Structure 1
Amino acid sequence: MNKTRHPVGLVLVLLSLVLNFISVVLYVQQPDTFAAFTVLPIWLWGALGLLFSLASYFLFRSPLSLFTSTMWFLVILVLSDEAPGLVRFGQTTPEDGRAAPYLNRQPLRVITCNWSSDSRPIGPAIAPWEPDIVFIQEMPHPYLIKQLADTLYGNTGDYRYDENHACGVVLRGRIKKALLEPQYRSQYLTARLPNGNLIELANIHLQPASTNLSLWSPSCWKEHRQNRMRRRSELQFALAFLNEYTPFPNRPTLIAGDFNAPATDGASDVLARDFTDTFEAVGTGWGNTYHRRFPLLRLDQIHASHHFLPLRSRAVTIEESEHRMVVSDLLLE
């Protein structure tokens, strides 16, 4: 039998092509029904597709195997959330210390960090970055928030801690108003920056993600679909809450926290009209934040309203948390 026409080789190429087509359609469209498929990074499916196509080439020299492999490389480059940060050559990145000036203006440095309920002081991990605003989730004790505020700003800063939701915000400036919302793990604040500008802050911690990966089970697909729909409802509620109780969208607004879903997840689409994902726009390096030891997913995100110009962004590993924290520099235009 002609090796290039071996049926096993042709089947492997066909499987790779079908998986490629399905992946492109699902990751572009993000249908809720297939949330169990798209919750995984597309490069994991790409690795499987490349395994099929490269095995077909090296074992059987099958037609189209190299073409299929090339298609996978292009799909991963274009559709994966990780690729832009890795190929964004020449883009500046946040460094420790105060945010570097931009066009003789001082940007805001914003950090979001899920502290993973660790009881150790948070100051040593955060202070070297000299942030202006820090969003924190899963913070078990209010005194840790106060310690951070004192460490960073002394009497020139402010903080709020929500004991019910174990989250807090620390900032350079003053908090003018705090809005309580008991339904979800969210915190809404109006803050006055040292330069007098007012901004709205939403510190969110969306409901836990589904970890069921039994893709052969219908219950897995149902669970992921319902989980995404609930997280989308939370984000829609956050936008409605901001619209009703704050001057949003006319005032600069930041939504940051732990989204418990990849940045490409369809639930986050509701933010696209009014907000920019800062890492997606200007991030450098490997942006995934969970788990710290082997970060597969970019759960922790900072979304800025169009009043801000994103300048730099990166994810930073800290030993105290299971999550990597996100550091973004923004210019308030």
Structure 2
Amino acid sequence: MTRSALRMSPGKLLRGSLMIVSALACVVLILCYTMRPDNFTALTVFPIWIWPAPGLFLLGLAWFRSSGTVYKVCMAAVGLLWLAYILVFTEELHSLARSLLPEQSPPGPALRIVSLNSELGLGGASDLKRHMPDIVLLQESPSPTAVAKMAYEVFGAEAGVATGLDTAILARGTVIPAPLPLVSRRYFTEARVKLTTGIEIGIISLHLQTPPVRVDLWSPGAWTQLRAHRARQRRQMQVISDRIAAMPANMPIIVGGDFNAPQGDAIFELLKPLLRDAFREAGRGWGNTHKNELPVLRIDQVWITDQFGAAEVRAYQTEQSDHRLVVCDLWLR
């Protein structure tokens, strides 16, 4: 080996190492976002689409002053791996593409659900009335008196209301609250709703525990704290899942609200035996809901049973809340 070749070896070694690190990072992220393990919650609470930037940056450094056909083929393969990651896992691309397709009218009786974290009622009736809902799922709801007033503004004399300690259900029809333990009423409200159209539905409006904000991924404490938070949310979701399972088997069910968890999180596995995410089926446009001005996560969601078809789901900016509201158009099959 010549002295010139020896002088080049450290650079080649560095570029090769950067390429391998980029490839391994992509594989680890694919596994994490596919399996959502609790020990990696600190990674998966972030939007899926932020990670290609550092991965491709490393790949770009590896490409700089590179030479050799085999080496460039390997680089291209790693680039294609990142591209596949983006196309497969980035939900926002799917919903934006779906918004280019022609809109379809519901083939059955239409039903509009609106879910809103009202930030203690600040973004209340004005945001709701604009979208003409049949049922409203409210989180961070104000006092029962204020909720009743809001329901009357939206639905008039036909309004029905069920309130919890932090959530509420409003509807155009009769709302029969389900009795719940005090600890459950702190994060969800359950009711049976009979609309003026005669449709009867089981409804849950929920607001799961708010996660800690940790971006210091170099700290073991961040990983421990977010893993513990996932466990607490899973316990809350298990209670809700048990309530869903106890509802009549033939009853249509809608569960929605502020899950305080990103789309695809592991806690949603507890809903999947009976329900499905309406946005995954019919979401259009930019579906993220938090925060209102620059939403990067879809923590506000609506889940439905098979008795419903989803025609369209969109997120809309609100006037005062720090969340966008979710408008979900359904039909009964």
What is the TM-score with the length of structure 1 in the denominator? 0.90
Asked whether 1:84 is paired with 2:88, we answer no
Amino acid at match of 1:213: V
Counterparts of 1:315 and 1:177, CA distance in 2: 27
Counterparts of 2:22 and 2:36, CA distance in 1: 20
Counterparts of 1:177 and 1:188, CA distance in 2: 6
Asked whether 1:50 is paired with 2:56, we answer yes
In structure 2, runs of 5+ residues without a counterpart are: none
Counterparts of 2:155 and 2:293, CA distance in 1: 31
Report the alpha carbon displacement of residue 175 of structure 1 after superposing the two structures with TM: 0.9
Q: Which residue of 2 aligns with 1:96?
A: none
Whether the 8 Å CA contact 1:133–1:172 is kept in 2: the answer is: yes
Number of aligned pairs? Answer: 321
Whether the 8 Å CA contact 2:134–2:171 is kept in 1: the answer is: yes
Whether the 8 Å CA contact 1:91–1:282 is kept in 2: the answer is: no
Q: Which residue of 1 aligns with 2:111?
A: 108
Q: Pick one of 209, 212, 228 that aligns with 2:211.
A: 209
Whether the 8 Å CA contact 1:119–1:141 is kept in 2: the answer is: no
SS in structure 2 at match of 1:47: helix
Whether the 8 Å CA contact 1:282–1:310 is kept in 2: the answer is: yes
Counterparts of 2:33 and 2:320, CA distance in 1: 33
Report the alpha carbon displacement of residue 58 of structure 1 after superposing the two structures with TM: 4.4
Counterparts of 1:257 and 1:67, CA distance in 2: 41
The runs of 4+ residues in structure 1 deviating greater than 6 Å are none
Q: Deviations over 1:168-206 (max 9, x none)?
A: 111111113432332131101011122222210111111
Amino acid at match of 1:67: A
Q: Which residue of 2 aligns with 1:32?
A: 38
Q: Deviations over 1:117-171 (max 9, x none)?
A: 2546x12111121110110101223343223322222112211222xx2221111
Whether the 8 Å CA contact 1:9–1:59 is kept in 2: the answer is: no
What is the TM-score with the length of structure 2 in the denominator? 0.90
Asked whether 1:191 is paired with 2:197, we answer no
Whether the 8 Å CA contact 2:166–2:207 is kept in 1: the answer is: no
What is the root-mean-square deviation of aligned Cα atoms in Å? 2.1
Identity %: 29
SS in structure 1 at match of 2:183: coil
Question: How do residues 166-177 of structure 1 correspond to structure 2 at under 5 angstroms?
Answer: 166-177=166-177
Counterparts of 1:79 and 1:144, CA distance in 2: 41
Counterparts of 1:292 and 1:306, CA distance in 2: 30
Report the alpha carbon displacement of residue 38 of structure 1 after superposing the two structures with TM: 1.1
SS in structure 1 at match of 2:155: helix
Counterparts of 2:63 and 2:236, CA distance in 1: 47
Whether the 8 Å CA contact 1:200–1:254 is kept in 2: the answer is: yes
Counterparts of 2:253 and 2:199, CA distance in 1: 11
